[in-house]
Every structure is written in structure tokens, then in C-alpha cells.
Amino acid sequence: MEKTIDEKKQGKPLVLEQEKGNTRKLFIESYGCAMNFSDSEIVASILSGEGFNTTQNLEEADLVLVNTCSIREKAELTVRKRLEKYNAVKKHNPKMKVGVLGCMAERLKTKFLEEEKIVDLVVGPDAYKDLPNLLAEVDEGRNAVNVILSKDETYGDVSPVRLNSNGVTAFVSITRGCDNMCTFCVVPFTRGRERSRDPQSIIEEVNDLWEKGFKEITLLGQNVDSYLWYGGGLKKDFTKASEMQQATAVRFSDLLELCAKAQPKMRIRFSTSNPQDMTLDVVETMAKYDNICNYIHLPVQSGSNRILKEMNRQHTVEDYKQLISDIKNIIPDCGISQDMIVGFPTETEEDHRDTMALMEYVKYDFGYMFAYSERPGTMAERKMDDDVPAEIKQRRLAEIVDLQLKHSAYRTKQFVGKTVEVLIEKTSKKSEIEWSGRTHQSTVAVFPKEHYKVGDFVSVKIHDCTGATLIGEAIGYSKNN
């Protein structure tokens, strides 16, 4: 596999892994969560073995794949717009084949072919290894579909081809699927039951990334806290495993420790956590290793116990607050971010005030906030009316976004006057002469480039900030460089 460097905008080197001798061109784009971006790297690897190299140029593609998201209606509309774009391109490039991957493909299945005539191929998140066979069918002029969800597929034996990579940070997927069945969520239907990847293959990937010069990994899963390796198979079948398997099972805190020890200078992050599955041994393991970043993305979705119940979230607001204070006790400077949904069916002004009160209690570093979007096939869609009017949803959304901006500014200001370790990722968006990178808490920091380079760990003295960005001066390499 050879690497070519393609200078993209903002001076960010773009590492493209290309196989010598491959002649076919794959254009692949991804939407939605980090799992989709990580899966696209698996797909690029599988197709690299079938003679495909990736291209950034849609016009020259033999195969165009879009990895789709189904989490909100807007995400699906975005994909349909892209398919229109492909349609226009196909007029000049009739040999081009089009395929849809990911959650929308899994949700719609063969219906996708009926609804979008340009689509030749529909492949669900667990069926990417079948792509060579499916493509053979397409090459013979037939449509092809595989949306079977798996009980054990983790792609642990596929070495991802890094796409749009800065050569510094990379995703490493550790679990697939989700068993939690939150009533608003489509993921359990589009990604199947929870299963964890062999820790050995995860460590091999971490070591390989370090060899290739990467400095930070994010361990990925819909629900990383319920990582549980006991030799393969579904998490829900763990109780049927042998005593030996149960006794030697690897849990998330064990995996974190294995990764931290494997590459002591590699920064380690993880996402996404779930408050009902998070255990304090994970936080204690974070505190024990310098290279595990002091940051947790901890979605809560609502601050009202009544709404949490309607969402089938298996914790109360009080449980969540207790977890937050336990985290802050063990790691006082831990950065915490949230996911929030406003306008869930039956949400009242009082429920909304409860959400604002929880945000006031935590004062999150940042968050991802959305208005409720009814998803076909979910429990909420089947059992509840989407009864909160759109304008009330938008007003409540604006209120929590404003509150979050205030809290982000409060948290960012706390770094002024301090020295933080920053891993340089790219040139700052705002200035060609400044580097941009992130602190342990995943807060962005910018500072003059001087003699430093992408991939350096630098100690930066912070003298100012905006609402979300730290502004500073490099005072030398950090001890981890």
C-alpha cells in the first residue's frame, strides 16, 4: 500500500493510501456519526482488495458509495440530495455505479431501489464483506442488496484504509450495535445487537497506527461502556458463556488499560458513553494513565425524569448527577459534553426547565442539541404522537443552545492563564500562520506555528479565548512529544 500526500485547503496534508496496480476508482463519502466514517475506511480496505483506489474526484469514479445516516429526517434528506447530484454526474459518466451503505440502507432495504432509480447497490452496516460478490452482480447489470444484520461481525480482521486523514488522529471501532432500545432511536434497528471486537485485533490496530505516525486514537462504539469480550458473540449471551469465559472476560476499563499500556505516548479518547452503562472503574482507569484524555462525551438527552422514562433511558436525573460528581471527584478537570433532545413527545415547559436546570448543574464544555425527529419503526413513532409543535421545539432548542454557549464560554475561560498540552492537527481555520489542535479536554487551541509541526505535542500558555477556542503561545514541546 503506498501513501500519496495531497495538499488540500488550509495546508492540511491529506494522506491517501493507494494500492499500486489498482485501476478502478472509488468515490466514497460518509454522513452521520464517527462509526460511519470508520466503516467507510473498512469498505475502502475491502474494495482495495478488489482493484479499487479511492478518488476525491466524483467525475472520474467507477463506483460511488455514500455511507448514510438515519438518526434524523434531515440526515436522510441530505442523502437524497446527494443522489440527485450523482444523477447529474452519471449523465457524463454512464459507467458509474452507485451504492448506498449504512443506516438508511439498512432501514429502507430494497425499498431504496424503488425510491431512488440511480441506486444499483444497497448494503447494510454488517454486510460490507459481501461487497465483492454484490459488485460482481452489479457489473453483470443486476441490482444487488445485502442488509442482513450479524451476530458476530466486528470487522476486526480488516485493516482500515484511512480516508481524509490528517495522519495524526484515527478512529478504532471496538463494538457494534446497541441493545439499549431508547424509544426515539433507530440505531438498534439499523445496526443490530451489541457485540465487541477481539482486544487482540484492537491492540494490533493501535500499534500499527503508532508505527504509521498517528498520535491519537478514538475508541468507537454506539455504547463503548458496554464493551465486553468473552471470546466473541453477542453481549446478551454473556450469561450463557462458560465460567472460564466469564472469569477472563475483558471489560471496557480493561481494554482502556490495555491500549494505554500498549502505546504509552499515544493519546486515547473514546466515544460514545452511556450513563446507564458507565462504571467508575472506567473513570479510575482514565485517572491512572496520563495518555487517556480527561474528556467524556456523556449523552443524557433530557433533564426530566418523566421524559427519561418515556425515552426508556435506564437512569434518573439523580443517577446522572451522581455520576457527574463522581467523575469530577476522580478527575476534577475532566471535560464533559452532552447530547440533548428537545420537544420529545409530551414534553412540557416544566420538563424543558428541568433540562435547563441539569445543564446549569453540569455546565458542559460543549454539546450536540437537536429537536426531536420522529424515526420510522421506533417505539416512540409506534406508540407516541409527535405532539410538540415545531415552533415550540425550535424555541426550546434555541434556549438550550444559548445556555450551552454561555457554559462553553465559562469552561473555556477557566483555561486562561494556564499551560495546556496541545496535539497539533492542522493549520488554524482563521490564520495560515497559526496551528490548531486540541487539549486533553478536546477544547480547540490555536497558537503561532514557529518551528512546530503537525503531530507535535506542545505545551501552550493560554492568554486569551473566544467562546470555544483557546488562544495561546507555545512554550516548548510537552513531555509526551
Return the biggest CA–CA distance within the chain.
65
Beta-carbon-side half-sphere exposure of residue 207 (alpha carbons within 13 Å):
9
Q: Which stretch binds ligand SF4 (CB under 6 A): 36-44, 182-190, 348-356, 377-385?
A: 182-190
Q: Is 302 in the site for ligand SF4 (CB under 6 A)?
A: no
- Asked if residues 24 and 17 have their Cβ atoms less than 8 Å apart, the reply is no
373: exposed, middle or buried (C-beta count within 10 Å: 0-12, 13-18, 19+)? middle
How many residues bind ligand SF4 (CB under 6 A)? The answer is 10
Q: How far apart are CA 26 and CA 44, in angstroms?
A: 8
Q: Which stretch binds ligand SF4 (CB under 6 A): 116-124, 176-184, 325-333, 346-354?
A: 176-184
Q: How far apart are CA 310 and CA 379, in angstroms?
A: 10
In the bound complex, what is the minimum distance in angstroms from residue 301's beta carbon to ligand SF4? 7
Please measure the distance between the N-terminal and C-terminal CA atoms of the chain and give it in whole angstroms. Answer: 27
Q: Which stretch binds ligand SF4 (CB under 6 A): 184-192, 356-364, 368-376, 378-386?
A: 184-192
Q: Is 175 in the site for ligand SF4 (CB under 6 A)?
A: no
Among 188, 343, 345, 367, binds ligand SF4 (CB under 6 A): 188
Q: Which is nearer to ligand SF4, 156 or 275 (CB)?
A: 275
Q: How far apart are CA 3 and CA 55, in angstroms?
A: 13
Among 68, 165, 273, 274, binds ligand SF4 (CB under 6 A): 274
**Residue 165: strand pairing partners:** 15
Q: Which stretch binds ligand SF4 (CB under 6 A): 138-146, 178-186, 322-330, 444-452?
A: 178-186
Of 109-168, which residues contact ligand SF4 (CB under 6 A)? none
Q: Which is nearer to ligand SF4, 45 or 180 (CB)?
A: 180
Q: Which is nearer to ligand SF4, 45 or 226 (CB)?
A: 226
Binding mask 349-388 for ligand SF4 (x = CB under 6 A): ----------------------------------------
Q: Helix, strand or coil for residue 15?
A: strand
Q: Is 180 in the site for ligand SF4 (CB under 6 A)?
A: yes
- Asked if residues 49 and 39 have their Cβ atoms less than 8 Å apart, the reply is no
Among 98, 121, 187, 260, binds ligand SF4 (CB under 6 A): 187
- Asked if residues 186 and 378 have their Cβ atoms less than 8 Å apart, the reply is yes
Q: Which is nearer to ligand SF4, 45 or 301 (CB)?
A: 301
**Residue 459: strand pairing partners:** 421, 476
- Tell me how crowded residue 392 is: count the other CB atoms within 10 A of its CB: 15
Q: Is 178 in the site for ligand SF4 (CB under 6 A)?
A: yes
301: exposed, middle or buried (C-beta count within 10 Å: 0-12, 13-18, 19+)? buried
The C-alpha cell that represents 30 in the structure block: 460518509
- Asked if residues 287 and 330 have their Cβ atoms less than 8 Å apart, the reply is yes
- Provide Rg for the chain, Cα atoms: 23
Q: Which stretch binds ligand SF4 (CB under 6 A): 108-116, 138-146, 177-185, 398-406?
A: 177-185
Q: Is 221 in the site for ligand SF4 (CB under 6 A)?
A: no
Among 185, 286, 296, 403, binds ligand SF4 (CB under 6 A): 185
Q: Please tell me the total number of residues recorded for the chain in this structure.
A: 481
Selection from 93, 157, 168, 107 nearest residue 128 by Cα: 157
In the bound complex, what is the minimum distance in angstroms from residue 308's beta carbon to ligand SF4? 12
Q: Which stretch binds ligand SF4 (CB under 6 A): 92-100, 113-121, 180-188, 374-382?
A: 180-188
Among 40, 54, 67, 223, binds ligand SF4 (CB under 6 A): 223
Interface with ligand SF4 by CB under 6 A: which residues? 178, 180-182, 185, 187-188, 222-223, 274
